[in-house]
Amino acid sequence: MTWIKICGTTSERDADIAIRAGANALGFIMTQSPRQVSDTSAYSIGTVVPKGVETIGVFVNEQPETLAQTARFCRFTGVQLHGEEDSGYVDSLRALLPGIKIIKTLKSVDVLARSRQPVASSLKPDMWLIDSGNGTQRGGTGKTFDWRGAQPQLKKLQQPLVVAGGLNAENVQAALEVLRPWGVDVCSGVESYPGRKHPGAIAQFIDAVRQFDAAAQMRSEERKL
């Protein structure tokens, strides 16, 4: 099944809504953002998250030692690097946080600009996440990107791919059909306003993903007959 991350979690209420709806992971923005949470808030929210649901801290160009200290305090199961972190940075994190999942964000504009060059081939995260972003925001813009244009480059990646950027219940199946990613990440597409999740939107989003999964599984089984 497709891995589903609800990002920009800011309260126990929103965490509970996402967990009850069937999310696989919650994202916590630990850098400047309308959805930013403090270390203590992330820790507190994390205490209500059951085993089996991942907690991912999102950081931008933070010092590796500082990031590791925060991740340990908050008991994150993974970290998402949303800045210009390089392969040396990833190696440093692996030494500081053995066993923790490392997700590296790709900017869609960079992927689309590299029609023939490999994308970030020297980096070896556990997962890639492609997001739209813009000149002032790295994510959470509510804008999609050219999925078909990015697909040739993304399929060359060695690690699992997570797709973000303007996803919602209405368009997530189309993104899944084109990119066939390992997971999806949603933030603004399931909010009432920045930092406040909408229960109905989360339920509809997760239901749309699971409907796609079920249909894909059925097609796979039919091909075996």
Which positions are annotated as active-site residues?
A: 7, 131
- 125 Cβ neighbours under 8 A, 6+ residues apart: 81, 90, 102, 103, 104, 159
User: Nearest Cα to 8, choosing from 31, 153, 107, 21?
Assistant: 31
CA torsion through residues 99, 82, 206, 73, sign? positive
d(CA 123, CA 103): 11
d(CA 25, CA 49): 9
R_g of the chain, CA atoms, integer Å: 17
Looking at the DSSP bridge assignments, the partners of residue 128 are: 104, 161
d(CA 223, CA 166): 33
Q: What residue has token string 């994150």?
A: 76
Asked if 207 and 169 count as a contact pair (C-beta separation under 8 A), the reply is yes
